[in-house]
Amino acid sequence: MLKASTDNQVIPWRFEYKYRITVHQYYRLKNDLIIYMEPDSYTRKAEKGRYLVRSLYFDNDQFQAYYEKIEGNFGRIKCRIRTYSETLVENTPIRVELKNRWGESIEKYSTFVSTAEYLEFMSSRHWARSENPVLQEFERIYYLRAMQPKVLVSYDREGFVPRSREDLRVTLDHDVKSCLTGTLFPKPALFKDHHRHSIVLEIKCRRKQPAWLSQLVRKHGLKYIANSKYTQGVEAVRPDLLSPY
């Protein structure tokens, strides 16, 4: 379990490249990756070498954020609350995030909140720490767009960082699934799989991919795809909203 903190985090402009790979590709690619990369601190601490990620996405009743993604709108924003635990206890780490996307570039702002702050917001729809800029902006967008919590997306993640300390991160997400709920901790949790027997590979870098990584992408025949977990989550639990495009 990750340790909670009250510090804000700003991830400046970076590029994200996403691929959906088979189990066979996963094992072959991982064998090549570990020549250049090593598990990140979260993965090393995880009991089975993978750690849980759960994200509660917010949208309005017209699913504006979903359709903005489908239409490829420039400058779209995601509001979500994330945790790394299946249960809510006093010290459960919970993070509030805003993610802006401009084409292939993203910028992310986040801050950790306490269990009590999370419960208070879910009850009152107001963050008690009104001086926090991330919480201020989250609440502003929440009311501006008439948002509500809509979909919970869950998966098990492996994260890798370069041995050379380059500004780069690679993640492999397993068992991606979602459910229609208004909380991070639903009981019961009725999840539906996104793409069974496939793994989501994400490459995150501030600058151009290093040559060795580009070579691995070509070697394994990986094809870049639009792979929004929120979009797939909506389509898994609300097939009536499936876009015809």
The 10s digit of each residue's pLDDT in 80-94 is 999 999 999 989 999
pLDDT at site 53: 97
**% of the chain residues with pLDDT over 90:** 70
Checking if the pLDDT of 1 tops 70, the result is no
Mean pLDDT of 15-43: 94
Specify if 204 maps to a domain. Answer: yes
Specify if 78 maps to a domain. Answer: yes
Specify if 43 maps to a domain. Answer: yes
DSSP 59: E
Rounded to 10 degrees, the C-alpha dihedral 125/131/134/136 comes to 40
DSSP 241: G
Amino acid at site 195: H
Give the integer Cα–Cα distance in Å for 142 and 177: 24
CATH of the domain at 127: 3.20.100.30
Checking if the pLDDT of 4 tops 60, the result is no
pLDDT at site 176: 97
Give the integer Cα–Cα distance in Å for 22 and 186: 30
Structure token pair of residue 163: 């041995």
Cα Rg, the chain, nearest whole Å: 18
Structure token pair of residue 232: 């797939």
Strand partners, 21: 199
| Number of residues assigned to the chain | 245
- Span 201-221, pLDDT tens digits: 999 988 778 899 999 999 999
Report yes or no: 233 and 153 within 8 Å, Cβ to Cβ.
yes
Give the integer Cα–Cα distance in Å for 203 and 213: 9
Give the integer Cα–Cα distance in Å for 59 and 148: 6
Give the integer Cα–Cα distance in Å for 90 and 118: 11
Rounded to 10 degrees, the C-alpha dihedral 207/4/190/170 comes to 20
Mean pLDDT of 231-245: 80
Average pLDDT, the chain: 90
Mean pLDDT of 149-171: 94
pLDDT tier for residue 225 given thresholds of 50, 70 and 90: confident
* Total domain count, the chain: 1
pLDDT at site 7: 59
Specify if 1 maps to a domain. Answer: no
pLDDT tier for residue 2 given thresholds of 50, 70 and 90: very low
**pTM tops 0.75, yes or no:** yes
pLDDT at site 101: 81
Specify if 2 maps to a domain. Answer: no
Q: Choose among 195, 151, 192, 134: nearest CA to 54.
A: 151
Amino acid at site 133: P
Strand partners, 109: 10, 98
pLDDT at site 73: 80
Checking if the pLDDT of 103 tops 90, the result is no
Beta strands in the chain (DSSP E): 8-22, 37-39, 51-59, 76-83, 94-102, 105-113, 148-162, 168-180, 192-193, 198-205
> Which residue segment(s) compose the domain that 52 sits in?
8-241
Which parts of 62-200 fold into alpha helices (H)?
64-71, 115-124, 133-144
